[in-house]
Structure 1
Amino acid sequence: MQSRSRRSVLAALSAGSGLGIAGCLGDDESVSVLAAGSLAVVLDDHVGGQFEAETGIACHAEYYGTNAVMRMVSDGRKYPDVVVSADAGLLRDRLYDTHTTWDVSIASNAVGIAYASDTRFGERLEAGDPWYEVARDADPGALAISDPDLDPLGYRAIHAFRLAEREHGLDGFAEAVTDAAYREPQEPQLLAGVETGNRAAAVVYRNMAADHGLPFHPFPEAYDFSNPEYADRYAEASYTTDGGYTATGAPIVYNATALESADSPDAGRKFVRFLANASDLLRENGFETAGFPRTHGDVPAEVTDG
């Protein structure tokens, strides 16, 4: 199904409300959200509180790598009302037909390196050395990536390494840096090692560096996965997880859906609608919202209608 335009989606989603939910005090007292770890700060500190203030519905969220989120839902280990993914294609591949038939895309992001300034790694970046030379010369474990078998940020790091190898003519670079990197199994903890001094740097989304007050060295658009104009180039890289899912490089798109099996389906749909209208909050916290929101699939009328 084709996505609807930003103008038509915004008009429908925002009809009759401030951020899209005014007057929706229903019987639901809370909504449970299972989301990508990179959304933890913006949902906990900003979106969740405003949603409760406007609707009277408390937001209770848990955060994991998106691959892990999909496994938890598919295996029946978690029963959230709402799922928010850092990879729109992954949500559609794993949850469509069995758990949902629709989603709303809400934002994009960019990949780069967050680092500690008082490390050799950080000093070299700030001196203008190419990041790939710094990463190649770093001690094993100095650079962290999220676990690519659990999290799109992890396989996007590997995609970036592989595309950088081509872009800069670096024979053997991707394999060497991937093998030397520390793999963090809990995406929300990816920057903890940098903050405590156990790691020098980590491959992260732009908003994550801002969340933790760390300097951020962006990758070029040719492999930061932020620009749809580079979609064909991004697609030249791929990674197959230990579960057999092949992730092909693509522009970053976050999306959300309310599950058919939700305990509080009305609250779930209200939360997705609210999140789709939270572009200002997302943008203020490091996400890219131009061109969003967009709908996909059989989106319920409660999500789009006034």
Structure 2
Amino acid sequence: MVASDGGPHRTRREFLAAGTAAAFGGVAGCLGGGTRAVSVLSAGSLARTFEEHVGPAFESETGIELRGEYHGTNALIRMIEERTKVPDVIVSADATLLRDRLYGSVTDWDVEFAANSLGIGYDTRTRTGRRIADGDPWYEVAPDADPGDVAIADPDLDPLGYRAVQALELAGRAHDRPNLKADLLDAVYREPKEPQLLTGVTTGSRAAAVVYRNMAVDHGIAFAEFPDEYNFADPDLADHYATAEYTTDDGYTAVGRPILYNVTVCDGADATAAGRRLVEFLVDNLDRLTAAGLSVDERFPRTVGDTPEAIDL
């Protein structure tokens, strides 16, 4: 079978059958030198997923501590490219971005493990939030909000940010509002630190933010999912999503595409075996991701590239 981008992949059943035996034998041997932690550089939208759902369970099962650091994916990839960060494991909120930027330098394989959807999270205590909760279309409500009252992630640092910009473009077409993108981009607050995107909404200082579904679940706030035409959740609409693009300030052009999370282990990482064990733990416990608000279906896990023989994916 082949992945959506033409690379080889295996189904969940094949993946787990192949990896389980190697996981316990290989990791036990390689960790004999005393490595009891794995460093993870991850997309900020998964901060609570790893800290509250994955990390504690992984440490309980393996005795390996997960030490996570969370940023917008484009920002963390820049850190890796500039060698200011050298993690054991990299987790991206845009599978294609990781492959475009890191294949051939720090890895040549990855595993897709979950999907997500885009929408607007809001505070029902605010005027803007009450209108959305009452059923007013978000694309009519958001332009009426006070400047800075609606937030997006920084599109130059984070796929969540450039997906928000792309969604505004697609929404403008879908709802015959050609000025929607320009008007909102003039008024929104751009949050440079993705894990803090919803802080203002939860504290009442901001009305709403364009976020992934799992982030709203994490923070316990109301969430209005965008229609399939611009929520980047429907793989059958990949060609439609691709009609919207965004070029970051470092020259990378991101084409609109379905939201896919993927994970890899850095070549030459300090705790390679522990990193591989974490990858295996992730795909063997996809129910934890569903509980965290992510989407997991028969597509996952899916491997792409030259997966290491050591974990026999």
TM-score relative to the length of structure 2: 0.93
Correspondence for 1:150: 157
Q: Number of matched residues?
A: 302
CA contact (8 A) 2:26 2:273 kept: no
Structure 2 counterparts to residues 45-194 of structure 1, below 5 A: 45-194=52-201
C-alpha distance after superposition, 1:166-221 (max 9, x if no partner): 11110211111112110000000000011122210000000100101101110001
Amino acid at match of 1:289: V
Q: Which residue type is aligned with residue 258 of structure 2? A: P
- In structure 2, relative to structure 1, the CA distance for the partners of 1:276 and 1:102 (3 Å cut) is same
> Given that residues 229 and 237 in structure 2 are in contact (C-alpha distance below 8 angstroms), is that contact kept between their aligned partners in structure 1?
yes
The CA deviation at 1:140 is 1.0
Amino acid corresponding to residue 218 of structure 2 in structure 1: D
Residue 92 of structure 1: how far off its partner (Å) = 0.4
TM-superposed deviation, 1:64: 0.2
- CA deviation string 1:9-53 (max 9, x = no partner): 23323x359xx6589443321100000001111101121111111
Q: Tell whether 2:287 aligns with 1:297.
A: no
Counterparts of 1:231 and 1:77, CA distance in 2:
34
Where structure 1 has 5 or more consecutive residues not aligned to the other structure, the ranges are none
Percent identical: 55
On the 8 A contact 1:21/1:55 being kept in 2, the answer is no
Instruction: Determine whether 1:205 maps to 2:205.
Output: no
Cα RMSD, aligned residues only: 1.5
Letter in 2 for 1:137: D
Contact in 2 for aligned 1:121/1:134 (Cα 8 Å): yes
3-state DSSP class of the match of 2:282?
helix
Identify the match of residue 227 of structure 1 among 234, 239, 248.
Answer: 234
SS at match of 1:34: strand
Residue number in structure 1 paired with 2:10: 4
Once residues 213 and 131 of structure 1 are traced to their aligned partners in structure 2, the CA distance between those partners, rounded to angstroms, is: 19
Taking the aligned partners of 1:304 and 1:119, their CA distance within structure 2 comes to 52
What's the CA shift string for 1:238-286, capped at 9, x where partnerless? 1000000000100000000000021111111111111122210001110
Find the aligned partners of 1:75 and 1:289 in 2 and give their Cα distance: 33
CA distance in 2, matches of 1:22, 1:109: 33
Q: CA deviation at 1:108?
A: 0.3
Contact 1:105 1:276 in 2 (8 A): no
Specify every segment of 5 or more residues in structure 2 that has no aligned partner in the other structure, as ranges.
1-6
1:301 Cα offset (Å): 2.6
Correspondence for 1:250: 257
Give the whole-Å Cα distance in 1 for the aligned partners of 2:307 and 2:21. 19
| Cα distance in 1 between the residues matched to 2:211 and 2:86 | 28
